Structure 1
């Protein structure tokens, strides 16, 4: 299977960012706003990725899963975002809490494979090559 590229587009809208993914627009705000923060959106994506990975692998193995529910929590020290050079600006810890309804004895194997194969869990755990370019338009 060839490599897959995912994309999103965004723009500043007042004190929020409007991000479009496929045909869905998300309004994302700063900490303390009523809108979800980028960190919360990341955690939601990571949790949904894990839930869908469990579903995909259970289906791949023929394991009956009645339901998958989860909770995810990320910890961030805002001093890093505010410029403290001794504290990373991003998430410091992420915790998943999952409940799977299944009577199949192979569910532990499904979970071990899911922990290994979940794309966003993997992305959170390893170093990723990131390239940022910019243009400054004179207005």
Structure 2
């Protein structure tokens, strides 16, 4: 699946060169816009892509799509996969197969305001990475450490990201 020198390394090298030439090239702004759909669902537009989100019936939805926390788990999984692939190539670590799964524990008392001592978000998230290839366990542990240090969606959960909300009434 991956080897030491590939187009992903070329992307990293080109990015490093662009940032050296102008540090402003290091900042990328991503945007998404959401509109309500159905009782509690939404349609998210990110560039040319549309993501449907809904809730299961127990939370007022029709279960027509993944719910917001499942979308987060999907984002975490996909970011882990991308980060594993980039860093495997950067570290010249061969990977034959890779799969990632995640699950999280959510106490709905926080969301519904039934107990303000309970966080509204996940109380815990577990990620399981299955990887195979010709490398030693130590090399794959080195890869995991690099991924954990550089995965942007993991960082959103483990770090503190300032969020500023502006309410506009029209």
Q: TM-score, normalised by structure 1?
A: 0.92
Q: Structure 1 runs of 4+ off > 6 angstroms?
A: none
Name the CA distance, whole Å, in 2 between partners of 1:49 and 1:26.
16
Q: Which residue of 2 aligns with 1:132?
A: 165
Q: Which residue of 2 aligns with 1:24?
A: 49
Name the CA distance, whole Å, in 2 between partners of 1:41 and 1:30.
11
Name the CA distance, whole Å, in 2 between partners of 1:82 and 1:40.
18
Q: Which residue of 2 aligns with 1:78?
A: 108
Indicate whether 1:121 and 2:123 are aligned: no
Name the CA distance, whole Å, in 2 between partners of 1:101 and 1:59.
15
Q: Which residue of 1 aligns with 2:66?
A: 36
How far the C-alpha of 1:100 sits from its partner, in A, is: 0.5
Name the CA distance, whole Å, in 1 between partners of 2:111 and 2:45.
24
How far the C-alpha of 1:6 sits from its partner, in A, is: 1.1
Q: Secondary structure at the match of 1:87?
A: coil
CA RMSD, Structure 1 to Structure 2 (Å): 1.3
How far the C-alpha of 1:108 sits from its partner, in A, is: 2.1
Which residues of structure 1 form unaligned runs of 5+? Answer: none
Q: Which residue of 1 aligns with 2:144?
A: 111
Q: Which residue of 2 aligns with 1:88?
A: 119
Higher helix share: 2
Q: Secondary structure at the match of 1:80?
A: helix
Higher strand share: 1
Name the CA distance, whole Å, in 1 between partners of 2:133 and 2:148.
17
Number of residue pairs aligned between Structure 1 and Structure 2: 137
Q: TM-score, normalised by structure 2?
A: 0.76
Q: Secondary structure at the match of 1:20?
A: strand
Q: 1:61/1:107 Cα in 2 relative to 1: closer, same or farther (>3 Å)?
A: same
Q: Which residue of 2 aligns with 1:52?
A: 82
Name the CA distance, whole Å, in 2 between partners of 1:126 and 1:50.
16
Q: Secondary structure at the match of 2:104?
A: strand
Higher radius of gyration, 1 or 2: 2
How far the C-alpha of 1:31 sits from its partner, in A, is: 4.2
